[in-house]
Amino acid sequence: MQEKGLLIVLSGPSGVGKGTVRKEIFSQPDTAFEYSVSATTRKPREGELDGVDYFFKTREAFEEMIENDQLLEYAEYVGNYYGTPVDYVRKTLDEGKDVFLEIEVQGAGQVRRKFPEGLFIFLAPPSLSELENRIVTRGTETEDLIKGRMKAAREELEMMELYDYVVENDKVELACERVKSIVVAEHCRRERVQYRYKKMLEVD
Ligand SMILES: Nc1ncnc2c1ncn2[C@@H]1O[C@H](COP(=O)(O)OP(=O)(O)OP(=O)(O)O)[C@@H](O)[C@H]1O
Ligand SMILES: Nc1nc2c(ncn2[C@@H]2O[C@H](COP(=O)(O)O)[C@@H](O)[C@H]2O)c(=O)[nH]1
């Protein structure tokens, strides 16, 4: 029987650099994870593409996905819905591939309840002032939205103790290396390697 892949969840407050770290990890040729594209009711930012960055949905279409049980998790975050289409995640894990979710903290909690065997990594900022500086510098949010995201961030930071690992995003390259090393270590810890060796020894 095919061994299942590992569900990797990268979460943390808005502006900490989850998207930046994820994109850097996925730009590296040795990365073997599959990225799960989320659905959202947020309007696309400049340069964002439907089906690549998100599946952009109307509120009605998103609520239909909720009713039809098509989401592994979802959350309403600062006025918009965000959610993970469940079929892609299940199918890809069943194929033995690791799936990478980049989601906010409420959604990560829901995934933890459904997939306790997942690997949960919290990306933390060097400081709250640096977090605010990153959201402001990104220039994608109005002043009100920045306030909303900073308020949510204080609550989200308190959740970090529920995660398997906390990775500080001081420098993007270092944060990526830490995340990738954790995944490698986790595969070893979960006896995948031992299992393969056992099989090999049985054959010999
Ligand atoms: N290590 C870092 N040092 C300095 N700036 C960074 C670092 N990581 C990310 N940034 C910058 O911080 C801003 C926010 O990053 P990003 O959009 O990746 O955050 P996010 O956590 O995905 O945010 P959101 O949850 O709102 O989508 C971007 O302008 C990005 O270039
Ligand atoms: N619970 C979920 N959160 C998600 C998902 N996809 C993205 N996100 C998170 O939402 C916020 C805001 O994102 P932005 O693109 O508007 O800046 C951020 O923390 C994302 O990580 C999801 O499927 N479920």
The confidence score (pLDDT) of residue 26 equals: 94
Q: Known binder of ligand: residue 148?
A: no
Task: Divide the 204 residues of the chain into consecutive groups of 10 and give the mean pLDDT of each group.
Answer: 87 94 94 94 95 97 98 94 98 96 96 95 96 90 88 92 96 97 91 65 70
Q: From ligand 2's centre to the CA of 189, what distance in Å?
A: 29
Atom of ligand 2 at shortest distance to CA of 83?
23
Q: Known binder of ligand: residue 17?
A: yes
Going by alpha carbons, the residue nearest to atom 13 of ligand 2 is 14
Does ipTM top 0.90? yes
> What CA–CA distance (Å, rounded) separates 85 from 87?
6
The confidence score (pLDDT) of residue 201 equals: 74
Residue 15 CB less than 6 A away from ligand 1: yes
Own/partner long-range contacts of 107-110 (Cβ < 8 Å, ≥24 apart)? 107/11, 107/73, 107/74, 107/75, 107/82, 107/83, 108/9, 108/11, 108/73, 108/163, 109/159, 109/162, 110/72, 110/73, 110/74, 110/75
Dihedral of CA atoms 140, 145, 151, 153 in degrees, nearest 10, equals -30
CATH number of the domain at 7-36+97-203, out of 3.40.50.150, 3.40.47.10, 3.40.50.1970, 3.40.50.300? 3.40.50.300
Residue 173 CB less than 6 A away from ligand 1: no
Residue among 103, 138, 97, 135 at smallest CA distance from 122: 103
Q: From ligand 2's centre to the CA of 186, what distance in Å?
A: 24
Pocket-testing residue among 103, 134, 141, ligand 2, by greatest number of atoms within 8 A of Cβ: 103
The confidence score (pLDDT) of residue 196 equals: 65
> What CA–CA distance (Å, rounded) separates 153 from 1?
42
Residue 118 CB less than 6 A away from ligand 1: no
pLDDT tens-digit readout, 16-29: 999 999 999 999 99
What pTM, to 2 d.p., does this model score? 0.93
The confidence score (pLDDT) of residue 140 equals: 82
